[in-house]
Amino acid sequence: MSLLEWVVQKRNVSLKHNCKQNKISVPENLWVKCNKCSFLMYYESLNKNFKVCPQCNYHFPTSSQDRIEHLFDENSWQSLNSNLSSTDPLGFSDKKLYRKRLKEMKVKTGLSDAVQTGIALIENISVACGIMDFRFMGGSMGSVVGEKLTRLIEYATFYKLPLIILCASGGARMQEGMLSLMQMAKISSSLHRHSKSGLVYFTILTSPTTGGVTASFAMLGDLIIAEPQALIAFAGRRVIEQTIKEDLPDNFQTSEYLFKHGFIDLIVSRTKLRNELYNLLLLYCNSTN
């Protein structure tokens, strides 16, 4: 080995050593790729666009807290019944004890259950609102979800407030059996009294809205709004195909399919939802004055 080759080799070894010592760590999740069009975007840009892809309008899953920040006037949210929390009335166990699963979900999400309820302002118009959160056991409807929504509706009826419920759910919570199914009738009864008082109720269906939630309060709105390309269904696609022995259209159980067939009234992007709700509330307020 020549003197020149030896110097070059030593220099390369020294450079590699320095690179390892001064290695720059890149934070995870700094860049996000769209699940639909594969567009790569900076995570802050996505958050500023309400977690909607700016290229193809794909709606990323979002939390109930994000929705509160997106929809309502700043610092206007006042939580109701936030202390209610599910127990394990049936002593249910599958791969994991239900009470243990509940504890893990509370730690992971910071929520007491799968819905947040409260009152807030949209451009200074007071509304009562329930926001389901799919992160908590798939947004499943158990006794506490039913109780919180029922109390919210009764509050809205008593104080004569318009009501908004954002749905995101896999349906009734199997770990509570018949107790969860009873919530369908309980919530629907409260909605009937709210309607008889001449008050308006908007439902906003996000992806997914399925099962017992779809079969009850999600489809009882005076105006039913859905996000684009949301999965909205009662039973699963495969179950229906096996039952009727026919293939279903590719866009079956999407917002667009349901809109075309008259099951929902509007499809509104998350980026425009606040403004759309404000216009609808103005129309309602003017019609009641």
- Report CA Rg, the chain: 24
Q: Count the alpha carbons within 13 Å of 209 in the hemisphere toward its beta carbon.
A: 29
Pick the closest to residue 168 from 280, 47, 63, 34 (CA basis): 63
Cα–Cα distance, 144 to 149 (Å, whole number)? 8
Using a 10 angstrom Cβ sphere, with 0-12 exposed, 13-18 middle and 19 or more buried, the burial of residue 153 is buried
Q: Is 34 annotated as a binding residue?
A: yes
Angle between helices 177-196 and 143-158 (to 10 degrees): 10
Q: Is 285 annotated as a binding residue?
A: no
Cα–Cα distance, 191 to 185 (Å, whole number)? 10
Q: Is 19 annotated as a binding residue?
A: no
Q: Is 129 annotated as a binding residue?
A: no
> Residues comprising the binding site?
34, 37, 53, 56
> Residues comprising the binding site for Zn(2+)?
34, 37, 53, 56
